[in-house]
Amino acid sequence: MATQYPKGLRNPDTKKLNQYSKYLHDKNPRWTVVWDETSGMFAGRDMHSIISLDVTRMENVLRRQKGLGPAGINNYLRYLKAVCRYSKSKPSVKFEDFPEFEIGTEEERKEWLEPEDARKLIQWLDPLRADMVGFALATGHRNANVRLLKWGWWHPQSGDLIIPKTETKNGCSLQLIVTKGAKAVLDNRLRVREQLLKRHPHLSGKLDYVFVRDGQKFLGKPFYRTSVCNKT
């Protein structure tokens, strides 16, 4: 596997993760170096040298140091297993002892939002986040598909919403019928879009995303992945 640089540096006081640099690390020696649990652990190793003991060690790191549960650990195991299987199919990689992977049993999720809980949550949110949560509850979409939803994917005449395969997690296009609740959110976002264009004509042709911010600093831009849930 290729040499891997650390994922970042974590400030132990604020818990904030900063992009890694040697300068920043030298300046703040107390900060913790954070590695990606897969590529960091096997950096510099030849693929064929990975054995079952390495898999067990990775599981222990994920469980004891990172505090992950069965579902989180399984995600890493599946990823490493896929990489090893792909490498095994290459004539240039001959495993000394192909590692065994035992995918653990995952606990079923027992938490959910009752309709009244969802309404109370939405009442406390700002208008943009309230619309995003309402749309997510109406469609079951994940973070990225809501946050980066584009107007070009919605077909009002047919009532369909088609997300292209280049934008989905599994690489397949996703089509769903827009429900009454989801359509109400889209209609509201259309009104917001029209108001933004009236106040800021220079945004014409640039408002591709459905859920965009109206503040001056990030005008017309969607949330970053880490900005959807902030300190507020």
Domain ranges of the chain: 8-88, 115-226
Can you give the pLDDT at residue 2? 42
* Strands 17-18, 32-34: pairing kind: unpaired
CB 109 within 8 A of CB 124: no
* Amino acid (one-letter) located at 165: K
Cα–Cα distance between 149 and 161 in angstroms, integer?
10
The pLDDT of residue 3: 44
What CATH number does domain 115-226 carry, 1.10.443.10, 1.10.3720.10, 1.10.10.10, 3.40.50.410? 1.10.443.10
pLDDT for 193 equals: 95
Instruction: Mark out the alpha helices in 65-179 (DSSP H runs).
Output: 70-88, 115-123, 127-139, 143-147
9 sits in which H/E element: strand 8-10
User: Digits of tens for pLDDT over the chain (232 positions)?
Assistant: 444 556 678 788 877 778 778 888 888 888 877 766 565 677 677 888 889 998 898 888 888 877 788 888 888 889 889 989 999 998 888 998 899 988 877 777 677 788 899 999 899 999 999 999 999 999 888 888 899 999 999 988 888 888 888 887 777 888 887 889 999 999 999 999 999 999 999 999 999 999 999 988 889 999 987 788 766 5
Q: Which residues pair with 5 in a beta bridge?
A: none
227, 230, 219, 225: which is closest to 145 by C-alpha? Answer: 225
Q: What is the pLDDT of residue 231?
A: 63
Cα of first residue to Cα of last residue in the chain, in angstroms, is 41
Q: Which residues contact 44 (CB under 8 A, 6 or more apart)?
A: 1, 3
Q: Read off the tokens for 13.
A: 């006081």
Rounded to 5°, the CA angle 68-43-167 comes to: 65
